[in-house]
Amino acid sequence: MRIGVTDQGVVSTVAFGPDGDGGGGGGGGEGTPAADAVTGADLTTEDRRAAAVTAQLAEYFAGRRREFDLPIDWRVTTGAQQAVLRTLHRTVGYGRTVTYGELADLSGAFDDEPGERGLRAKTVGSIMGSAPVSVLVPCHRVVAAGGVGGYGGGEAGLATKHWLLTLEGVLPPTLDWS
């Protein structure tokens, strides 16, 4: 996992799938629009701020942490994206899920825009796919009305979403016959 931090908080987490393809969800690694949006920011994984992020993520992945107490640097997000991600971060806790449409409504980001709810849900899906701080901002907890939905694109991302939802007790563990 690649972690980017600034003096104001976590700016990116990028999980890599088994082939290093970024399929674990999230965006915003160095050289991406999310990282570039913080002009002059010192993005590094070699200081104590990044070490704190790494430690809390390790505790979460080991099943020993349910909440993160890390600051998020929201400067890499704007407008509806920021409203949706902040709402998700603030309201959907460990072991809970929300649908794309419900999150669109909760965020209030689309209240002034005419349009059908399905289009708003798709917009939220796009926001989840481009979220710079995955796991800490729990995009994996946003699901489709009729199922799990996607995560980070491709099969590796979906497998990651299933794993995270299983870790949190949302999905039952499956038997591995391999």
For residues 124 and 80, the answer to whether their CB atoms sit within 8 Å is no
Pairwise CA distance, residues 135 & 10, whole Å? 12
143 sits in which H/E element? strand 142-143
Pairwise CA distance, residues 25 & 14, whole Å? 7
Pairwise CA distance, residues 164 & 95, whole Å? 10
* Set 34, 80, 133, 139: catalytic member: 139
User: What proportions of the chain, in percent to the nearest 5, are helix, strand and coil?
Assistant: 40, 10, 45
Residue by residue, DSSP assigns 110-140 as TTTS---HHHHHHHHHHHHHT-SBBTTB-GG
64 φψ region: left (φ > 0), alpha (ψ -120 to 50), beta (else): alpha
Residue 113 designated active-site: no
Active-site residues, by number, are: 139
